[in-house]
């Protein structure tokens, strides 16, 4: 009898110990899940990353700040280069060909055209607020805006140039030599300095003070009743689990088709492997950077391949494949109304 009671007591305490261990494991996973993305050498992220970790703000989204400490001379020279086709091999394509600064920072086509009308592989994301993304490009292959600049300049489907060619042209320009010398202690234009002025200009392209930002800061009248309801739906269905932080996204990767097989329904879209091409890991197949939803109403078409023309359809498909829910048309329209409130004001540098 005592032996039986001993065994029962041992099982009971073993169960308790296992339960405590399980709770510790779950707690550890929750802590790790909430650790913010690693901030490396991106100045914008270093300056503003605290906003994403603001423990006083109970909302998953935080207000977008205006940058106030950028060198105006670098911003001005960066703007000049951003709009100058001199960076391309045949002087036909400028950054603004794909990133229209007067039209949402994108080009509103499925995929962009480069020199000699070469067709790109992915949809062009907006350049606005891009300094707040913790990785650049859809596959996140670089960490900073400085590194990102090499992509379009050297890509044969975009600008099709080389740094040797770019520097030869810039150093032959009296305007550029004089302006770079005014900022840097160098007699010649360098690759590092070109990257620096362009990335500084890009960090100035912040569309802050949206209606939603005003509401977050305490203006209860900044949003309509319908927009507030759309935000509640956005949170309750779990959209904010991926689209959160200062940029309402741009700080994690996710596979398309969490709850349903997206590529079974759309096999023609399956050729782009996303992060898999970078990592070689099976878990990264068809995984892409979660895009920012700021100004999303201005940046159609949607998805990495530009395959979705309207915001209504993008919401519908995301709900189906990423959340496993079917939204009514009324719910979609209400969430869309909320997303319209994320459109910010024109950056100061463009006024």
Structural domain total, the chain: 3
Does position 183 have pLDDT exceeding 70, yes or no? Answer: yes
Same domain, 197 and 220: no
Residue 192 annotated in active site = no
- Is there a contact between 60 and 216 (Cβ–Cβ < 8 Å)? no
Choosing from 146, 158, 202, 287, which is the catalytic residue? 158
3-state secondary structure 130-176: HHHCCCECCCCCECCHHHHCHHHHHCCCCCCCCHHHHHHHHHCCHHH
Global confidence as pTM? 0.83
Confidence (pLDDT) at 68:
86
Averaged pLDDT, 317-321: 98
* Domain containing residue 259: CATH number: 1.10.760.10
> Per residue in 267-307, pLDDT tens?
999 999 999 999 999 999 999 999 999 999 999 999 999 99
Q: Domain residues for 18?
A: 8-37
Confidence (pLDDT) at 351:
87
> Per residue in 244-267, pLDDT tens?
999 999 999 999 999 999 999 999
- Is there a contact between 153 and 89 (Cβ–Cβ < 8 Å)? no
Distance from the Cα of residue 238 to its chain's centroid: 18
> Per residue in 64-109, pLDDT tens?
998 989 999 999 999 999 999 999 999 999 999 999 999 999 999 9
Same domain, 242 and 322: yes
Does position 1 have pLDDT exceeding 70, yes or no? Answer: no
Same domain, 216 and 284: yes
Same domain, 265 and 344: yes
CB atoms within 10 A of CB 138: 22
């Amino acid at each position: 009898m005592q032996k039986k009671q001993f065994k029962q007591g041992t099982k009971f305490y073993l169960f308790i110990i296992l339960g405590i261990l399980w709770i510790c494991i779950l707690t550890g996973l929750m802590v790790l899940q909430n650790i913010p993305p690693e901030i490396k050498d991106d100045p914008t992220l270093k300056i503003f990353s605290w906003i994403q970790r603001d423990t006083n703000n109970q909302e998953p989204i935080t207000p977008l700040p205006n940058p106030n400490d950028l060198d105006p001379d670098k911003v001005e020279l960066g703007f000049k280069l951003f709009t100058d086709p001199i960076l391309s091999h045949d002087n036909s394509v400028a950054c603004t060909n794909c990133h229209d600064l007067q039209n949402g920072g994108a080009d509103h086509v499925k995929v962009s055209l480069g020199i000699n009308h070469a067709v790109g592989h992915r949809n062009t994301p907006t350049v606005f607020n891009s300094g707040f993304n913790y990785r650049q490009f859809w596959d996140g292959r670089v960490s900073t805006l400085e590194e990102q600049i090499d992509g379009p300049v050297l890509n044969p489907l975009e600008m099709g140039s080389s740094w040797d060619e770019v520097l030869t042209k810039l150093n032959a320009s009296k305007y550029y030599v004089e302006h770079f010398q005014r900022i840097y202690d160098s007699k010649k234009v360098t690759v590092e300095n070109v990257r620096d002025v362009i990335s500084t200009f890009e960090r100035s392209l912040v569309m802050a003070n949206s209606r939603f930002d005003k509401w977050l800061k305490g203006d209860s009248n900044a949003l309509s009743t319908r927009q507030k309801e759309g935000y509640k739906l956005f949170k309750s269905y779990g959209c904010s689990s991926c689209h959160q932080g200062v940029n309402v996204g741009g700080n994690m990767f996710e596979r398309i088709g969490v709850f349903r097989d997206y590529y079974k329904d759309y096999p023609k879209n399956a050729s782009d492997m996303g992060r898999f091409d970078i990592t070689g890991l099976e878990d990264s197949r068809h995984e892409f950077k979660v895009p920012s939803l700021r100004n999303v109403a201005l940046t159609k078409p949607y998805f990495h391949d530009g395959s979705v023309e309207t915001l209504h359809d993008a919401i519908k498909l995301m709900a189906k494949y990423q959340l496993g829910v079917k939204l009514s048309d009324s719910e979609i329209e209400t969430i869309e109304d909320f997303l319209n409130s994320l459109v910010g004001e024109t950056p100061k540098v463009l006024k």
